[in-house]
Amino acid sequence: MKKFAVMALSCALMITAAGCGNSAADSKREGTVFEAVDEDKAGESEALEDKAKEESEDSKASDGDKETKDSEASDAAEVKTEDKESTDAGAEENKDKESSDEGETVGTDAASLFEEFKQGSVRAKYTGAGDRTSYLDTSAVLEKGKSYNMAEIVTSLADADGSFYAPALPEIQYSEIDCGGDGEPELLADAPFGDEFHLLMILKEIDGELVICFDQDSWSRSYVEVKPDGTIEGEGSGGAAVHVVDRAFVDAKGEYKFYYGVEETLTMYGEYYVYTGKDDYTTITADGLDPEHVGVRDYYFEADYDSRTHYYEYFMIDDNYEDVTIEADYDDSNELKKKFTEAGVKTYTRSEMEQMLKDRAAEIGYPGV
């Protein structure tokens, strides 16, 4: 029984020892597995850390690249902006230069055209506007819309009437004037025909060509003077007691404008013709008047004779032909005024005519009034 018990105990001890041995091995094996797992985990952790580090470095590199790209894009944009500003500045500078060049061209072109006209290599267009010629009638030999040089103009006039002869071209006088005071020059030509007559012309450069803006003949009994500002003064005689004055000008655009004309008659003998309309006229006589001490001024604002409306002013003169009219002379009781009234013609006082002249000057822009 004891032996069995001992054997049983021995067996138990052996089993226990064997069980203990398996536990140690398993424990050792489990430790090895856990260590391996830990090592795997550590490896995985290190791998993850390395990957995270690489991703971080990649991110930094990407951010760096992005910053570099952004910086490059910004630089490019700045360069592009600078280039655009430089281009705009260059374009503006070129525009300013072109504008400046255009401003210089007008005067240069006019000057060169004037010089070439003097030499006969450039022609000037005849339009008929501003033609006030009489004996040297350019409208009879020149065609509107066509251009002529000076030699052709003077030769045509001389050929049209044997009493005139064409002047030698060197005898023609040229000078520059400034019509309208705009700083742009016009050319004044003065061509003598014999000892008596002169042809005056104002030429202007318009749209790249020369245009005759004004032409008028001048002689001893009908003198014409062109002033440096383009104003034109004419004076003439219609007889011993008749004096004619007219004023006109060429403006900055080259347009001829007639200001006014007046025919003054000193003393009244026999009959005096007065217009009752543009084409109708009648006469008044000096009967009952002191003919040596009265006068009449006939004003008009049209250059064309047939288109004129006439405005009459009478006045009193002394022995020296000076105007001595007083306000009382305009009363209806005045004998000369009665004659005008009976003929159906209105008369104007000196102050009324002066106001009409001022209004006319303002209407057409006549200089200096």
Same domain, 147 and 68: no
Q: Which of 117, 135, 156 is the last residue of a domain?
A: 117
Same domain, 160 and 89: no
Q: What's the confidence (pLDDT) of residue 368?
A: 86
Same domain, 216 and 320: no
Same domain, 7 and 100: yes
> Which residue from 212, 230, 220 is spatially nearest to 192, judged by alpha carbons?
220
> Which residue from 243, 187, 180 is spatially nearest to 215, judged by alpha carbons?
187
Per-residue pLDDT of 160-186, as tens digits, reads 877 778 888 889 999 999 999 999 999
3-state secondary structure (DSSP) of residue 278: coil
Q: What's the confidence (pLDDT) of residue 331?
A: 97
What stretch of H or E contains 18?
helix 2-119
CA atoms within 13 A on the CB side of 313: 19
Same domain, 215 and 289: no
Per-residue pLDDT of 179-222, as tens digits, reads 999 999 999 999 999 888 999 999 999 999 999 999 999 998 99
> Which residue from 362, 271, 359, 273 is spatially nearest to 310, judged by alpha carbons?
273
Same domain, 112 and 11: yes
The answer to whether residue 53 sits within a structural domain is yes
Same domain, 204 and 307: no
Same domain, 68 and 178: no
Residue 7 scores a pLDDT above 50: no
The answer to whether residue 44 sits within a structural domain is yes
Same domain, 100 and 151: no
Contact, 178 vs 230, CB < 8 A? Answer: yes
The answer to whether residue 330 sits within a structural domain is yes
Same domain, 222 and 168: yes
Distance of CA 223 to the CA centre of its chain: 35
Distance of CA 186 to the CA centre of its chain: 17
The answer to whether residue 140 sits within a structural domain is yes
Residue 23 scores a pLDDT above 50: no
Same domain, 199 and 279: no
319 contacts: CB under 8 Å, gap ≥ 6: 293
Neighbours of 107 (CB within 10 A): 13
Helix H segments across 224-342? 335-342
At residue 92 the predicted structure's pLDDT band, cuts being 50, 70 and 90, is very low
Q: What's the confidence (pLDDT) of residue 168?
A: 86
Which two tokens mark 325?
A: 């009219």
Residue 39 scores a pLDDT above 50: no
The answer to whether residue 236 sits within a structural domain is no
Q: Which residues pair with 300 in a beta bridge?
A: 261
The answer to whether residue 239 sits within a structural domain is no
154 contacts: CB under 8 Å, gap ≥ 6: 166, 167, 172, 191, 193, 199
3-state secondary structure (DSSP) of residue 94: helix
Which two tokens mark 115?
A: 């010089």
Boundaries of domain holding 97: 1-117
Neighbours of 166 (CB within 10 A): 18
Q: Which of 117, 147, 174 is the last residue of a domain?
A: 117
Same domain, 265 and 349: yes
The total of structural domains in the chain comes to 3
Per-residue pLDDT of 236-288, as tens digits, reads 998 889 999 999 999 999 999 999 999 999 999 989 999 998 889 999 999 99
Q: What's the confidence (pLDDT) of residue 84?
A: 44
Contact, 157 vs 133, CB < 8 A? Answer: no
The answer to whether residue 35 sits within a structural domain is yes
The answer to whether residue 224 sits within a structural domain is yes
Residue 25 scores a pLDDT above 60: no
